[in-house]
Structures are given as C-alpha cells and as structure tokens.
Amino acid sequence: MPEIKVTPLGAGQDVGRSCILVSIAGKNVMLDCGMHMGYNDDRRFPDFSYITQNGRLTDFLDCVIISFVSNGEKKVLLFCGVLSLPYFSEMVGYDGPIYMTHPTKAICPILLEDYRKITVDKKGETNFFTSQMIKDCMKKVVAVHLHQTVQVDEELEIKAYYAGHVLGAAMFQIKVGCESVVYTGDYNMTPDRHLGAAWIDKCRPDLLITESTYATTIRDSKRCRERDFLKKVHETVERGGKVLIPVFALGRAQELCILLETFWERMNLKAPIYFSTGLTEKANHYYKLFITWTNQKIRKTFVQRNMFEFKHIKAFDRAFADNPGPMVVFATPGMLHAGQSLQIFRKWAGNEKNMVIMPGYCVQGTVGHKILSGQRKLEMEGRQILEVKMQVEYMSFSAHADAKGIMQLIRQAEPRNVLLVHGEAKKMEFLKQKIEQEFHVNCYMPANGETTTIFTNPSIPVDISLGLLKRETAIGLLPDAKKPKLMHGTLIMKDNSFRLVSPEQALKELGLAEHQLRFTCRVHIQDPRKEHETVLRVYNHLKGVLKDYSVQHLPDGSITVESILIQATAHSEDQGTKVLLVSWTYQDEELGSYLTSLLKKGLPQSSS
Amino acid sequence: EDRELLERQQHEDLSTKKLRLTKPSKSAALHVDLCKATSPADALQYLLQFARKPVEVESVEGVVRILLEHYYKENDASVRLKIASLLGLLSKTAGFSPDCIMDDAINTLQNEKSHQVLAQLLDTLLVIGTKLTENPSVRMRLVEVACKHLTDSSHGVRNKCLQLIGCLGPVEKGVAKEAESQAAKDVQKIIGDHFNDQDPRVRTAAIKAMLQLHERGLKLQQAIYGQACKLLADDYEQVRSAAVQLIWVLSQLYPESIVPIPSSNEEIRLVDDAFGKICHMVSDGSWVVRVQAAKLLGSMQQVSSHFLEQTLDKKLMSDLRRKRTAHERAKELYSSGEFSSGRKWGDDAPKEEIDTGAVNLIESGACGAFVHGLEDEMYEVRIAAVEALCMLAQSSPSFAEKCLDFLVDMFNDEIEEVRLQSIHTMRKISNNITLREDQLDTVLAVLEDSSRDIREALHELLCCTNVSTKEGIHLALVELLKNLTKYPTDRESIWKCLKFLGSRHPTLVLPLVPELLSTHPFFDTPEPDMDDPAYIAVLVLIFNAAKSCPTMPALFSDHTFRHYAYLRDSLSHLVPPLRLPGRKLVSSPVSPSITPHEDPSQQFLHQSLERVYNLQHLDPQGIQELLEFTIRDLQRLGELQSELAGMADFTATYLQCQLLLIKALQEKLWNVAAPLYLKQNALASAAAKQILEETYKMEFMYSGVESRQVVIIHHMRLQAKALQLIVTARTTRGVEPLFGMCEKFLQEVDSFQRCFISELPQMQGSFVDKLLDLMPRLVTSKPSEVVKILQTTLRQSTFLHLPLPEQLHRASANIIEPTGESDNPLRFTSGLVVALDVDATLEHVQDPQGTVKVQVLYPDGQAQLIHPKPADFRNPGPGRHRLITQVYLSHTAWTEPCQIEVRLLLAYNSNRSKAAAKIAKSTWNESPEALPQPENGIEGTIPFSKPVKVYIMPKPARR
C-alpha cells in the first residue's frame, strides 16, 4: 500500500528548530531548516545525521523547502525556519535545490549575516558558518512565486500559497502524482495592518502538516488592541510626552509603523516619528518592493503612494533623543536588554509624561520584563539606580493562527489526515482531539525522530482511447459523477503507463490473432410437432418476450437473437423431443445465459 | 447599379412573397456580400461589418431569411455561430415581432452538430422568447425544445437550456396544468435534477434558473432546500454563491417550516437553519461568497433573537482557560465605575479553566458570523457586514444594543469607506441606543479625522445620539471644540451638532452651565469674546438646552443675555427663542397646526394676487401703481416668511415682468415723433431683455414649477420676443433682416402651440390666443404688417392669471469657502495653476450635477466656467446639496495682487426643459428623425449665489 512517511527532526511536539522530513511516493523532501536557541553546540541544529547515516544528503533529498524567514524577535527567532540552512548545505553538504519565496530569499541573507555576526563576532564562537558559506548557500536557492507550480523533477511538484504571518511566508503543497502533502509553516488567518490572511484552495491533500503554536487559544479581535495602542500614543503625544516602542527589526515593527503612519495621516498629527536605522531600514526596503505580498489596502493604494514610503516616519539619530517636544521612537532591540532602545529608555524614564510600549513578549531577566512586572526602581550597571516614572504599557501583537484559525484552514483545505507540529504536546493533544471530533479525519502529532506513516489510497489515472470512450458513452446514458459505470475494454500496462483500449486495438498492438470463444448449450424441449413448427413457436415466443432485441427468423431455419444463434433439431432417439442448440460468443454471455434459462422453462402452451 | 439591378431581379423572383424593397435594402446587400464570399473567413468579415450597422424594423425579416438561407448552406461552424448570434441581435430590434422567425429558428436546431452553435441558437431563442413572453404557447414550445437539449454533452448547451427554462418556464398554476396534459413537465424538477450536474457551470445555471423562476413569481418548493444546502459545500465559488442566494430565497418563502437538525433529533425553524448556514458562509474561502452571504444576512429579519445574538458571540480562551473579550472588560470597568483605568500587563489574564469537551471550535450555525465578517481581509466583506448589521439592528433594539461595541470598533477601520459606512449605520440605529461613556470616547476620537466626510458624518451622528451622563456631554463638547480649533471650516456643522445635543439633553447640560460659562458666585469674570466660534458653540449648546429647561437662565450672567440677543438675531437658525425673565417672548413661532390655507400670510399672498388679477381694465396708470405696490408687498412678505419666500418671489417676478411689459407698451410713447424714438427704444429693448432674463429665472431657478406655470412663463417670454421684434422693426431700416426675424418668431409661436396644445383652452383672450387666430394672415403678410399686428395684439391682450403650485422653492447657493475675508493673496507662479477649494451649500437645486457651474471672473474681464465633477456633489438631505470641489486658477503675471470673483451659476438649456421633454415625448413615435436629440449644451446661465472675492497674485516666473 502506498504510504507517506513524516519524520520531524525538529518541531515535533516542540517549539523551534523546525525541520521535517517527508517521504512521499519515493521522494524525500525536507521542510524548513531551523535552529534551536537553547544550545550552543551542534545540538542547536536539527539532527541531520538521521539522514546522513545512509549516505550523502544530496543523494537522499530531492529538495528542501523553506516556508518563511523569521521576524527577528527573539522568541520568534526560535521558529525561524532558515537559520541552520548554511550549516546544512555547506557544512553537512547538500547540493540539491532549495526552494523559498522571493521575499524570503531577499531577506534571508541579511538575517543570516546578522545572526552570524551576533554569534561569531560578539560571542566569539567557532565552528559556525562563515559569510562565504551564506553566499554559497544562497546560490542554491530557487525562488518561487505564489501559486506557481514548480516541477522539481518529472514527478515531484511544489506550489506556494500565501500564509500571512511575515513578509514572504508561504504554505507549500508538495505533490507526487495524485498524492499530496501541504505544509503550512507559520501562518495567520486574521489579516493585520500590513499583511493579509492565509488562504488555500480546496486542494484536499492526503496530509496537512500544520503548526499549532496557539492550539489552545482563541484570540480577541485585533481592533480593540490597535485602538488602545493608538489612543495611548495619541494621548501621550498630545500631552507633549515622548513614546518609546522597543521592537525587533522585522515583522511587527512594520505593522506598527503602518499603523502609526496611517493614524498620523488620518488625524493630521505633526509630532515626529523616528525609526532606528540598521536592519529595519533594509527590511522596510523589501516591504516596499514586495507590495503584492501585503494586504488589500496597501496593494490598492500603492498606485497613489507606497504605504511603506513613510511620510511621517524618519530615520532616527542619536541626537534626536534629547530634542524637546513630543515624539515617537521605534528602537531595537525589543526587550530593552541592550542597544539603542535601552539608551533611550534611560534618558526618558524619569519623566512621567513619557511612555514606553512593549509590543511583545519579554524574556525573564531583561529590563523589559522587569518593568512589565511592575518594578519601578531598576539597578543598572555601575550600581546606578534608575527610577522609572514613565508609563509602561503592554500590547501584544501576535501573528500566528489561533485554534479557530487552524480549524478554519483545515476546513478550507479538506485534508484526509492532519499532522500537528510546532507546539507543545499538551496543547496539541487538545487540538488533535478537536480535529478528530469535528472533521472525522486522523490526526497525528509525532515527537522528534518519531516516524508517522500514513497510508494513502491514491487513484491511478488510466488513459482511455477516445474511440472507446465515445463508443461506450454512446451506449449508455449521460455520465453521472455519482454512479460508477461499467465499460468493456482491455487494460494495457506497458512502460509504466496504463491505457484502456478497445480489444481490437489491443490485439493489433500486441500482434495477436483474435480467438473466438463460443458457448453452446443444448436445451431439450418436449414438442411433438415438426422441426420448423417448433422453430416458429420458439421464434414467436422469443419475439414476444424480448421486445427490445432484434429477433430474426432466418431462411435456413435458425433463429438469431442479436448475435446468438438458435437451431432446432429433432432428437435422434425421441422424435417428440426437440433439441435446441443455443450458441453465443462470450461477449454476449449475459444475454445467452438468460436465453437458455428462458428456453429451459419451456415454451408456453400455445392455443394453436 | 448592380445592387439595384439585383434588387429588381429579386423583386421579381420573390414577387409571391411580399417583400418591401422600397429603399436600397439591407438584406439584398447582405445577400450579395455573402454570395461573393469565397471563404468562411470572408463571410465572417462581411457579417461582422454588417453587424456594425443598425437595421430598420421593416427589413429585419428579410435579413433574417437571407441569413437563414446562408446558415443552411454554410459548412463552417464559426460562420454559423455568427449568423446565430446575428439572429438574436436582430430579434432584439425594437418594434419587430419575432414570432414569424421562431419556427425557422427552432428548425435550425435539429441538424446542428456544433455545440457552440447550438448554444448560440438557444440564446437566440431566449431572446425571441423574452420578446414574446405574453404568448404561453410559444413559451411552452421553447421550453420543450430546451428540455430536449438538456441531455446534450456540452455544458454550454445545457447552460443555455436551463437559462431558457428559467426565463420562460411556466409560472402560473393554470398554465402548468394545461402543460401537464401536453408534456407533463414540472419545471422545478427538471431544473432541480441539474443541481447535481457534473459541470459547475451547469450547476450554477440551474440555481440561477431556479432563482429566475422565483423572480418571475413561481413559488419554489420547500423540497429543494435540502439540495440547496448540499450545494453550499460545492467546490466552485460561483455555485456556492448562487446556492447562498437560493437558500435565502427559500428562507423568505418558508420561514416558519420546521427542519430537522442532522445528527440529532431536534428540529428548528427553517429561517433559523438557513440563517445559520448563511452565517457559516461568511467564513467561506472565497470572498465573493463571503460578500454575498454577509449582504443577505441583513435582510433575514424573521430570525429568532437567540440566533441573531449568537452572531456577535466569540468565546475567547488562552491555554484552555476562559478569557474575557476587550468589550466585556470595558463594560465591566465601566459598570464598576473606574473607566479608563489604563491597561496593565496581565489585565487580560485568563480566568477559569475551560471544559475541553465543551469547546466548539468550528461553530455550527450563526456563532460569531459578524465577528468574522467585520474582521475580514477584504473591505467589501466588511462593508457588507456593516450594512447587514445596520439592517438587523434597525429591526431589533436589543441587537442594536449588542452590536454597538462592534460598530464602534469599525470607526477605526483602515479603509475610509468602511469607517464612513459604520458611522452612517450608527446614525441610523441611534434611536435604539444610548452610548456608554467609553464608547462615546472612542466615537469622539474620530473627530480628529482629516477627512471632512468622516467628521461631518460624525457630527450628524452626534446630532441624534443619546448620551447617558453629564460627563458624556462635557466630553463631547470638549472634543467638538478641539475639532473646531483644528478644522475651523467645520464651524457650521459643529454648531448645528451642538444645537441638537443641547436640545436633546437639557437636564444633563444644566449642571454644566456654570462651568461652561465660567461664572463664579462671587467674582465677575471677564466677558468672553463674542466673535470666538468656540464661545458661540458653547452658547448654542446652552441656549438650546435652556429652551426646555426654564431654570437655566437664572444661571446666566448679564453679558450672556446680551449675547443671547445678538445671537438670536445673527444666528436665528441655531438659537431658539427663549422665555427670559423680564422680557416678552419676541416672536411667537408659527404653530404648526395651522394648515397652509388657513395661514394668514398665505391668505395675504392670495388676496393680493386676486386683487391684481381682478382689476384688469383699470387705466394704465392705476395698473402700474397697483402692480408696484403688490410687488413691494410680496417682496417684503418673502423676507418675513421664509417658507413662503419661494412663492412670493416667484409671483413678484412674474408681476414685475408684466409691469415692464405694460410700461414698454405705453401708447403715448409709441406715438411720439422720431427724435424721441431713441429713448423709447432704449426703454423697450431693455425691458424686453429683462423680461427674457426673468422668465429664464422663473423657469429654471425654482423647484416645484409645474407645467401650468411653465406655459405662463413661456407665454411671457413670447411676449417679450414680440416686443423685441417690434423694437427692431422700428429701428432698423430695410426689410431684409426683418424677414428672418419674423420667420423665427412665427416658428416659435408654432412650437409654443405644439408644446402646450393641451393648455391653450385656458388661455382665452391672451396674446397667443389672439395670435393663433390671426396666424393664417400673419404667415402670408409682410414683416411690417406683422409688426403692426403684433403691436396691437400685444396691447390688447389680457393679463394671464398665474396659478400657484403647492410647493415652490427658489434655488439658492451659499459659498462657505473661500470666505473672501483673507488679506493674504494666494501666490502662485504665472502660467502654472493653483487649486482653490470651493465649498458651497446648494438648496432646492434639481440635478445639481448637470446644472451647477462655477464661474471665475478675473479683473481683466476674462471669465472662466468650470464644470465640477459629479462626485463633487454630496447629498446630505432632501433638497440640499453640498458642492466641495477644487477650482484651478491660472493667469499671466500681475504686478499687484488683485481680487477675482468666484460665483456659482445655474446653467439652463431650454431644450432640456420640461416643455422640450414634452415635445419629445409626444412626437417621438411619429417621426423619430424629425427632431434632433436635445443636445446637452448650455444655453445660458443664471448666477444664483453671492460672488465671493479671492485675493490672488500670479508672480512672474523666475528665470
């Protein structure tokens, strides 16, 4: 029985280090290539030795698909599906194609380089990939468009669907013959200010591999949060205060920028908004380029003005922080643990008119976490005590599908099986139960290294010759999708292909002579009359019964019903018994056997 | 030559058939062309060329015959296809009855092999059928034909067949029975069978055909409901979209039937079940279906409130623990009295654990449909959802209360259209609701929006909002004042808003008065500046509240009373009359119980008119005096009584015309000797010109003018033209120029007669009446004689009584912006353009898009006429329009800044007037070619607003 095998190397009942191995109809595909942030040795990479034990990677894998590139937020960095890629392709050694979307391909090297700098230059680690490796790795990348079907080889094809979440995130359909797998990567079913919602058609895959980060959460509408955020900022600015928004370079930062930019435009506000330079500037550049990947509003208004060409948001300079008057500043990093955001925070913390808005999660131990949990006196380096008088606000903007969103996607795609990855086991359990209950499909949640096998029941396409099809449809009624239809033909299995042709053609092709197969049967009838009279009686009887068939009485004393021949002879011993010889070809088996059984019942007592 | 020859031949050939070939016939030409065609491509070219020209009604049948003839000969399917489509086009020709070609068209179907041609032929039959709908036997026949072809293997043919059945299938009971005897056909069943067709296009066509039957009045059977529900899960969006419609139709037909819930033994009303299903479609994969579903939800008003309220329901959870929505939290905060405490981290921390079994992630039915719809990715869906919300809330007050939070949220949508729509929606349901303070806060935040439409919509909303607390009123006032300082142009709209806010909540305003007027129990506070718009705004709020709160004036300080008196005079539409201590109520308002006929001022108007009309045979001097007095009275009346202003002005204008005419015709002046002619001529020609102008004003500036008045106006104009003719005749030497003028005048008389033939009997003894009597003589006589006749007739003719219509309003315009007060010239480089914002209110203008123009007059006398775009006009209320547009100015360089004038004009065109429409209607059928289409040109313009001066300065370009 054909089967699909899925083995998560990372992200199985686990968050981060996304890396899933899929074997479908003899093809091996690796989905994502993430990294675990908890380790500093080789354990942070997925366990590629699982694959390499059987030989070289390139021989084993047909392709690698990267679903998206990370947001740059630390917590979300864990989910990033790309960080191990240079390690994988250059250090472990993989020369096959790597597929990702255009925006992902554009942003990927910047992110990798940034990450490499942090790890190698700052932390001083060795045994890490180099800049050259990143470049070499990127050469193997093939970029795909949305809804473009890419033929990896003759049988394997992949197709990308829009996934929301971050710029360039995509869901991938992997298809071999009529077996298919959809891998969602991270996705978002509710649109936000800069990206749309994930969408997939009713592709009915055999297996849907979905993330389940928020398997047990149903979120409130975004509007309230946005409104609160804007109101806070607006009020502070009106009071003459300064607003600090610590963000990471990609993703949510752009969302908040768009939000503020449109609000400033709408409300005709004049206070300056600044954006700390660096990675963010480059990122904004890509958002500007990939307008087709953004949401409806930005796409529609782009003709007048590209929304990412900010009118109110300018690049930040260190000196601006001391300027008087209200301002809003986006600064990196997002958890106030170092860098520019911390510097500005220290400058502004003393004034109760000012405000800091934390738009995301903060790791324990960071300044961000401390102030969020209500600490008002912070001990900085050098035993300084910083008193925090400014207001501290928390706004969560997350871009993963919640439980409802996951269910909605399953409803849209109508898969035959579902496999959950990228989530905590306990939460997955709940979602699994719900999926099985509501969609009546099997749901799996393998752990890392555990292989799930799914048996598929693929339909096998057979070519039918047009002549045969026309002949057969001409006989019956219109084809009905709901009812199976019986047809006669010869199935030829040759050269890995299936063809259904008419018997004559099959014979011709195979160079065989046609053999006739006839069944003959004798039926004894008690009839004292002469032979030709018996024949006449049989003829009349059959004519009466078989109204729809052509019954003929031939001059040589035989009867034909369609192609069936009936002859009558007197019994050699008993003249009162007549022997009816019924002969038919095997094609007419149905009619022939019916006829014999009819004749065996005897002739009706005729009045004459 | 060839053609004619051929025609003749053909004429002889077809002499048995009666073919009218009087003109060079189209059919013949086509025949020739088609015979000449050597290849199918050629023939196709000819047909394409032929299709570009219209065919007269008489020759349609001939052309059809020719086409059919070629149809049978033709081997190429594409040519046959074109012929089939041409047949359809020809059958559409107005005035042609296609029953004569129906048999032929049906016959063509029989031997046709190509599916495409078949489909096209069926389409032609559909056209024929729709032209012959009143003939049941034709319809039956066509339906039979369609049923026969339903088994075709091509989707296109089946598609057309279903369409045909849908459009022509029997609808009435009686016919259906009759049909049963013939073919025993149940159209619904036939169509229903195709709901499961293998081709999605055919499925869609089947559902559409069913809907078509419904539209034509056939009651659909409830049995289809089950089938339709299955179609909701179809793979194709057009099928789902049509199925949603079908379900909606059925839910409206059988709202109260009971249907079982699958997988349980409960039963619910059909309308509830359908509502649930359509709600489910709001989260469909295709946005087309989502829009459709969201739109239809609005019109399902019979749905039970239980289901309705579910649409706004969304259970939140976090890590399997129940969470409250922001709406719930806001409400709680509000009820616990600590509104706007600010958000803390963990404020939204999840509370109790949830029973995992009880959570339903994919809601069956209505749950959260609007929550989804309002958060949709596509703004089309969001707008549809807001509209639906509006309609449902209008019919259910409890639902209105619930959906408020969601609507308020929509005020911050990223698309302006959605915001505007939700503000309008809120206004429409505002009778049912009272805003909570936190909601009001969100609403008011939008006042800073830079879009004027949004702000004005919001002001309108505030006009009819109920506020629950005095803090709410205070908040609203503060925000409105902020709005005023930020956008000073909103002044009028804000004052109006505060007027309503005050008069709706007098008791809430009362405790705020001392604070608002900043009075102090012991100290005198400085008197505020009377010209400050913000101060006026506060006063408008207070005075309107004081109207129904008699204790309030006691809190006023002295200057407040003075300001009241001033504002009551200057802004009387905003400040109501108050019963102040120590003062009499100045003018008692006209109580609305008096009907217009009993109204003394109305009576006065009629009496004074009667007086004029009765005293016809007074000496000229007396008439003149009487007219002068009456005109003066009427003008004064118009100023006093605003509701009668239109009528009074209208009649005064008419009398003025009459007066001018009488003065111009004074006998003794005409008899004086030549040297005095000049003066007389000047007077008479000026009078004629003025009368003409006034008549145009009367005809086009008033709304509510009926044809009775139009006759009189035209009559007056005719008299003026006669006067002009007389004057010209007296001043010009030589006869030649007079010929043309006379002829033109007589033509006008003629057209007058044609236009108003029905009104003529009522014009006994009038100028035109007499003129028509003399018409035969006039036509034959010389110009000088004509003039003489005219002069006497004009003098002898009686004064026509002008009947008054029920309602008459004079069009008026007021330019709000530019204000004309600025001393700063608008500087721009000469040769380039500068945009000037123009904002004006128009009242009682009919079709402002077509008639209102902006005129710019430059100091050098150069005038520029600007046609505003149709989108620049907004319609805030009945009879009111608002013009917000930009005018582009440009000029060569000036040395000094100088003022230009901007004014609004009302363009008119007598061809477009009612009279012309009447001619067009009456004569259209007789000779369509005789009368040219009225052009959309402008004949003249009437200024109808005060000009505003704008200071501009085109600077020379710097080299």
pLDDT digits (tens, 9 = 90+) for B497-524: 999 999 888 888 888 888 888 877 777 7
Best mutation target, B362, B378, B404, B450, to test chain A (most A CBs within 10 A)? B362
- If one compares A587 and B125, the residue with the highest pLDDT of the two is B125
Under CATH, to which class is B34-171+185-257 assigned? Answer: mainly alpha
- If one compares B18 and A194, the residue with the highest pLDDT of the two is A194
Same domain flag for A372 and A417:
no
pLDDT (average), residues A5-32:
83
Of A231, A229, A234, A282, the C-alpha closest to A255 is A229
Of B911, B909, B906, the C-alpha closest to B941 is B906
Q: Tell me if residue A211 is catalytic.
A: yes
> Does the pLDDT of residue B546 top 80, yes or no?
yes
Phi, psi of A160, rounded to the nearest 5 degrees = -100, 140
Separation CA B58–CA B38 (nearest Å): 29
pLDDT at B916: 45
- Model confidence band, residue B914 (pLDDT cutoffs 50, 70, 90): very low
Of B446, B297, B460, the C-alpha closest to B369 is B297
Query: Looking at the partner chain, which of B285, B375, B376 has a beta carbon nearest the beta carbon of A412?
Result: B285
Helix (H) or strand (E) holding B140: helix B136-148
Q: Which residue, chain included where needed, has tokens 């209607």?
A: B921
- If one compares A545 and A127, the residue with the highest pLDDT of the two is A545
Q: B26 vs B53, B67, B148, B794, CA distance in Å?
A: 10, 12, 35, 54
Query: Does A607 map to a domain?
Result: no
Query: Looking at the partner chain, which of A295, A373, A480 has a beta carbon nearest the beta carbon of B377?
Result: A295
Same domain flag for A485 and A451:
no
Query: Does A407 map to a domain?
Result: yes
pLDDT digits (tens, 9 = 90+) for A252-283: 788 888 889 889 988 888 899 998 766 667 77
pLDDT (average), residues B903-919:
64
- Model confidence band, residue B919 (pLDDT cutoffs 50, 70, 90): very low
Kindly give the pairing relationship between strand B940-943 and strand B948-955.
Answer: unpaired
Q: Give domain B811-915+938-955's CATH number out of 3.20.20.70, 3.40.640.10, 2.10.109.10, 2.60.40.10.
A: 2.60.40.10
In the structure encoding, which two tokens stand for residue B265, read together?
């033994």
Of B200, B199, B198, B176, the C-alpha closest to B188 is B176
Query: Does A608 map to a domain?
Result: no
> Does the pLDDT of residue A123 top 80, yes or no?
no
Window 400-439 of A: residues touching B by CB (8 A cutoff) are: 403-404, 407-408, 411-412, 427, 430, 433-434, 438
Choose one of A371, A394, A417: the last residue of a domain: A394
> Does the pLDDT of residue B149 top 60, yes or no?
yes
**Among A164-178, A373-387, B923-937, where is mean pLDDT lowest?**
B923-937
Best mutation target, B288, B312, B377, B411, to test chain A (most A CBs within 10 A)? B377
Beta strands in A529-592 (DSSP E): 551-553, 559-561, 564-570, 577-585
Same domain flag for A71 and A91:
yes
> Does the pLDDT of residue B959 top 90, yes or no?
no
Same domain flag for A204 and A231:
no
> Does the pLDDT of residue B882 top 70, yes or no?
yes
Query: Catalytic residue among A73, A90, A211, A261, which?
Result: A211
> Does the pLDDT of residue B619 top 50, yes or no?
yes
pLDDT at B43: 84
pLDDT (average), residues B231-253:
92
Cβ(A79)–Cβ(A15) below 8 Å: yes
- Model confidence band, residue B349 (pLDDT cutoffs 50, 70, 90): low
Of A22, A30, A24, the C-alpha closest to A3 is A24
Separation CA A378–CA A365 (nearest Å): 12
Chain B partners of A394 at a C-beta cutoff of 8 Å? 343-345
pLDDT at B671: 61
pLDDT (average), residues A523-536:
80
**Among A210-224, A255-269, B173-187, B439-453, where is mean pLDDT lowest?**
B173-187
> Does the pLDDT of residue B820 top 90, yes or no?
no
Cβ(A454)–Cβ(A42) below 8 Å: no
- If one compares B87 and A281, the residue with the highest pLDDT of the two is B87
Helix (H) or strand (E) holding A138: helix A131-139
pLDDT at B928: 37
pLDDT at B927: 37
pLDDT at B13: 46
pLDDT digits (tens, 9 = 90+) for A294-345: 888 888 888 888 888 888 888 888 888 888 889 999 887 777 877 788 888 8
pLDDT digits (tens, 9 = 90+) for B293-321: 999 998 888 888 888 888 887 666 666 66
Query: Looking at the partner chain, which of B196, B356, B415 has a beta carbon nearest the beta carbon of A297?
Result: B415
Same domain flag for A347 and A234:
yes
Same domain flag for A197 and A179:
yes
pTM of the model: 0.75
pLDDT digits (tens, 9 = 90+) for A42-81: 666 777 777 767 677 788 888 888 886 654 333 334 334 4
Number of domains in chain A: 4
Same domain flag for A204 and A227:
no
- Model confidence band, residue B249 (pLDDT cutoffs 50, 70, 90): very high
In this complex, is the C-beta atom of A466 within 8 Å of any C-beta atom belonging to chain B? no
B124-127's contacts with Cβ under 8 Å and 24+ in sequence apart are B124/B84, B124/B85, B124/B87, B124/B88, B124/B91, B125/B164, B126/B88, B126/B160, B126/B163, B126/B164, B126/B167, B126/B168, B127/B88, B127/B91, B127/B92, B127/B98
Cβ(B494)–Cβ(B537) below 8 Å: yes
Query: Does A144 map to a domain?
Result: yes
In the structure encoding, which two tokens stand for residue B461, read together?
């909303």
* Cβ atoms within 10 Å, residue A122: 8
Q: Environment class of residue A419 by beta-carbon count within 10 Å: exposed (0-12), middle (13-18) or buried (19+)? A: buried
Query: Does A269 map to a domain?
Result: yes
pLDDT digits (tens, 9 = 90+) for B941-950: 888 888 888 8
Local structure of A369: helix, strand or coil: helix
pLDDT (average), residues B782-792:
80
- Model confidence band, residue A405 (pLDDT cutoffs 50, 70, 90): confident
pLDDT at A437: 86
**Among A140-149, B285-294, B657-666, B917-926, where is mean pLDDT lowest?**
B917-926
Query: Looking at the partner chain, which of B285, B318, B415 has a beta carbon nearest the beta carbon of A199?
Result: B285
In the structure encoding, which two tokens stand for residue B754, read together?
């044609």
Cis, bond preceding A333 (omega within 30 deg of 0): yes
The share of chain A scoring above pLDDT 70, in percent, equals 89
Separation CA B69–CA B48 (nearest Å): 17
Same domain flag for A33 and A149:
yes
- Chain A: give the shortest CA distance to residue B249, in Å: 26
What is the dihedral angle through the alpha carbons of B1, B6, B12, B16, rounded to the nearest 10 degrees?
Answer: -130
Phi, psi of B812, rounded to the nearest 5 degrees = -140, 155
pLDDT (average), residues B729-746:
77
Strand order of the sheet with strand A463-464?
A: A463-464, A497-501, A490-494
Range of the domain at A506: 462-510
pLDDT digits (tens, 9 = 90+) for A573-589: 777 778 888 888 887 78
Separation CA A515–CA A579 (nearest Å): 27
pLDDT (average), residues A149-169:
89
The answer to whether B377 contacts A230, with C-beta atoms less than 8 Å apart, is: no
> Does the pLDDT of residue A207 top 90, yes or no?
yes
SS (H, E, C) B187-220: HHHHHHHHHHCCCHHHHHHHHHHHHHHHHCCCCC
pLDDT at B569: 84
Window 279-298 of A: residues touching B by CB (8 A cutoff) are: 295-297
Cβ(B91)–Cβ(B101) below 8 Å: yes
Phi, psi of B920, rounded to the nearest 5 degrees = -55, -45
pLDDT at A251: 67
pLDDT at A237: 92
Query: Does A606 map to a domain?
Result: no
Separation CA A223–CA B413 (nearest Å): 8
Window 183-242 of A: residues touching B by CB (8 A cutoff) are: 190-191, 193, 196-197, 199-202, 216-228, 230-232, 234
- If one compares B828 and A485, the residue with the highest pLDDT of the two is B828
Separation CA B455–CA B447 (nearest Å): 6
**Among A218-232, A490-504, B345-359, where is mean pLDDT lowest?**
B345-359
Same domain flag for A540 and A586:
yes
pLDDT (average), residues A477-499:
74
Asked whether the ipTM of the predicted complex exceeds the cut of 0.90, the reply is: no
* pLDDT, chain A, mean: 82
> Does the pLDDT of residue B7 top 70, yes or no?
no
Q: What is the CATH number of the domain that holds A557?
A: 3.30.310
Cβ(B839)–Cβ(B816) below 8 Å: yes
Helix (H) or strand (E) holding B713: helix B707-731
pLDDT at B288: 92
- Model confidence band, residue A415 (pLDDT cutoffs 50, 70, 90): very high
* Cβ atoms within 10 Å, residue B109: 18
Same domain flag for A88 and A201:
yes
* DSSP 8-class letter at B682: H
Of B754, B732, B735, the C-alpha closest to B743 is B735
Helix (H) or strand (E) holding B611: helix B600-614
Same domain flag for A181 and A32:
yes
pLDDT digits (tens, 9 = 90+) for B641-668: 777 788 888 888 888 888 888 888 776 6
Separation CA B708–CA B806 (nearest Å): 12
Choose one of A378, A394, A410: the last residue of a domain: A394
**Domain-wise residue ranges, chain B:** 34-171+185-257, 433-580, 611-796, 811-915+938-955
* pLDDT, chain B, mean: 79
pLDDT digits (tens, 9 = 90+) for B679-721: 667 778 888 888 888 888 888 888 878 878 888 888 888 888 8
Choose one of A455, A475, A502: the last residue of a domain: A455
Cβ(B840)–Cβ(B816) below 8 Å: yes
- Model confidence band, residue B333 (pLDDT cutoffs 50, 70, 90): low
Best mutation target, A189, A194, A217, to test chain B (most B CBs within 10 A)? A217
Same domain flag for A20 and A116:
yes
pLDDT at B930: 36
Separation CA B253–CA B260 (nearest Å): 18
- Chain B: give the shortest CA distance to residue A369, in Å: 10
